[in-house]
Structure 1
């Protein structure tokens, strides 16, 4: 009996060692074919822009094609689910956004994936300020005037967002609660279409990620009333924070990262993490990245995983407290 147990243990240990060796060999050879880089939103928004900046640098370092695939819909759930269900071999990666990763589990009655069980964090890549903006034809010049007008005419104001559960949606609901306004939420299928309607004065207001709107603000095609960060942002030093403008303690930042299917070998996760951290260390890349409105973040898979868990709690509370819905 003891001999049988010893043999069984030896077989299990040998199998484990072979498995670990196989994973190490696979990671060493990785990548050996094209990588599919899924963006769960349409072209033209900040997630798409970040993916395309990373795509070029990853292709140069890996020497293989990195193909960006936009799979939009359902507040980022469709593209995120596609990656969650993909083969865990490192050849399908996700531009992970806070909506499907930390908000939608609370916002939607059910999801086809569990972001904390079906996806493995690789690295955090962004921490975007958002900006409260209106069309330049608007008579509203500051937050105080905006709150007074929106508060007195609750049926006249709506705000555009990139979709249900996106930072643009949540920060708008949070603003409604803090300011006592009742703006109606209009969900678009991505930041690009939403921004186009604000630029065309079809929708009066948007809280947009700074990277998308900054060129239009600089060109005078949008008017920035405030930013959502604790401190003013270097790109718009003259624009106050919402806390400065009359909403004490107001703060909201949009984050993104890279994730892969949960069973992806640890060695491949670490290789992706190391490659992106190396890309972020390049001064020329940092300039291009920071030009879209976010600092370079980087870090470990564990740090990104911790952020996802803590933000799931924090953002879920915002959903509950504000009564945000997908309707």
Structure 2
């Protein structure tokens, strides 16, 4: 009898161990092939060399050692990350395709683009990678040493000051409009094709200020531009002496720039959980944290559920802002 029952017992034991290791398809009762079975693709909706791209590569290197498969970065720039989102949504939900993106793809793009994607339905957050505050940076010759003085200047001359952004619908633009709304000022928006040219015109004195996504940190440290305040709920660890906008008297400008990892919606939960756990470990590595800091990004690992709440909170701010300010992307 023991000899007859032994194979069944062995099979059940193996299945339990397989499920515990996260290798069962959710709800199917059938064992999947070991994951990952081939190279993993990180789809990035921005050009090579940008913050999102660099973060994907920095995280990917230790991840591929942990997972035993190469991580391949696939740059699909355009439409503020929507092209990459579409590519990820169309991919097989087998744990071999993920998207690395700022959360504006989830929070703002559905309200900005027509026809809109539905990332809340078609993508699932795996976890956050990091957070970058936006820096209110003014031209050096602007007669304002604080955001309070900047607001006073703007109120004294409505429509005369200008601010730049990396383009319509970017986080720089949205935070700039949120600042205008909360401060009650009239300032002209000047869109650029990216943060770099906006920064250059601030340095050259062609525009008055912009919300810098850490592109100009070195210029700030060298005194070529003036840092007046930071967005977010707390001070920047990179500039701890600089107040938040809330501290400076303009409450509600608490959006920064979260970056995260996303998977197609039907990716098995066990795979998502395993990837989230490996990402969390990777973000604790000193070399990863240091490289992120050089980009002005704090390495912060939120799990999928926590990251989903962050996305929902920011969507609740941005959706009415976009509608109230009439912001659109052609």
- Aligned pairs for 1:163-178 (under 5 A) are 163-178=167-182
Which has the larger displacement, 218-227 or 132-141?
A: 132-141
Q: Which segments of 5 or more consecutive residues in structure 1 lack a partner in the other structure?
A: 1-15
- Alpha-carbon spacing, 1:249–1:263, altered in 2? closer, same or farther (3 Å): closer
Per-residue deviation at 1:173?
0.4
> Is 1:124–1:304's contact at 8 Å kept on the other side of the alignment?
yes
Partner of 1:298: 301
Cα separation, 1, equivalents of 2:172 and 2:251: 20
The unaligned stretches of length 5 or more in structure 2 are 1-24
**2:299 corresponds to 1:324:** no
Show the counterpart of 2:275: 272
Distance 2:95 2:45 in 1: 18
Cα distance between partner residues in 1 of 2:48 and 2:199:
12
Q: Map residues 106-121 of structure 1 onto 2, 5 A cutoff.
A: 106-111=111-116, 113-121=117-125
Q: 2:291, 2:187 → 1: CA distance?
A: 35
Comparing 114-123 with 143-152, greater Cα deviation is found at: 143-152
Query: What do residues 214-258 of structure 1 show as CA deviations (whole Å, max 9, x unaligned)?
Result: 222112232211111233223112322212323245422321210
| 2:189 corresponds to which of 162, 165, 185 | 185
After superposition, residues 1-327 of structure 1 pair within 5 angstroms as 19-23=28-32, 25=33, 28-33=34-39, 35-111=40-116, 113-210=117-214, 212-326=215-329
SS in 2 for 1:281: coil
Stretches (4+) displaced over 6 A: none
Secondary structure, aligned partner of 2:115: coil
Q: Partners in 1 of 2:202 and 2:87 — Cα distance? A: 30
Structure 1's 21 and 221: CA in aligned 2 closer, same or farther, altered over 3 A? farther
- The structural deviation recorded for 1:265 is 2.3
Pairwise CA distance, 1:63: 4.2
Task: Please state how far the C-alpha of 1:31 moved relative to its aligned partner.
Answer: 4.5
Tell me the C-alpha RMSD between the 2 structures.
2.7
C-alpha distance after superposition, 1:68-126 (max 9, x if no partner): 23322222222222212222233322113222211121233421x21111112111122
CA distance in 1, matches of 2:27, 2:80: 42
Alpha-carbon distance, 1:297 to partner: 2.0
* 2:298 match: secondary structure: coil
| TM-score for the superposition, normalised by structure 2 | 0.81
**Is the 8 Å Cα contact of residues 35 and 95 (structure 2) preserved in structure 1?**
no
Q: 1:55 to 1:192 in 2, by over 3 A?
A: farther
Q: Distance in 2 between matches of 1:78 and 1:197?
A: 29
- The separation in 1 between residues aligned to 2:29 and 2:63, in whole angstroms, is 26
Deviation at 1:197, TM superposition (A): 4.0
- Residue in 2 that maps onto 1:10: none
Any idea what the Cα deviations from partners look like across 1:28-66, whole Å, max 9, x if unmatched? 330422x32222223444323322321222233334432
Structure with the higher fraction of residues in helix conformation: 1
Deviations 1:277-301 (A, max 9, x none): 1112324433333443333321322
Give the direction of change, closer, same or farther, for the CA distance of 1:19–1:196 in structure 2 (3 Å limit): farther
- Look up the SS of the partner of 2:134 in the other structure: strand
What is the SS of the residue equivalent to 2:216?
helix
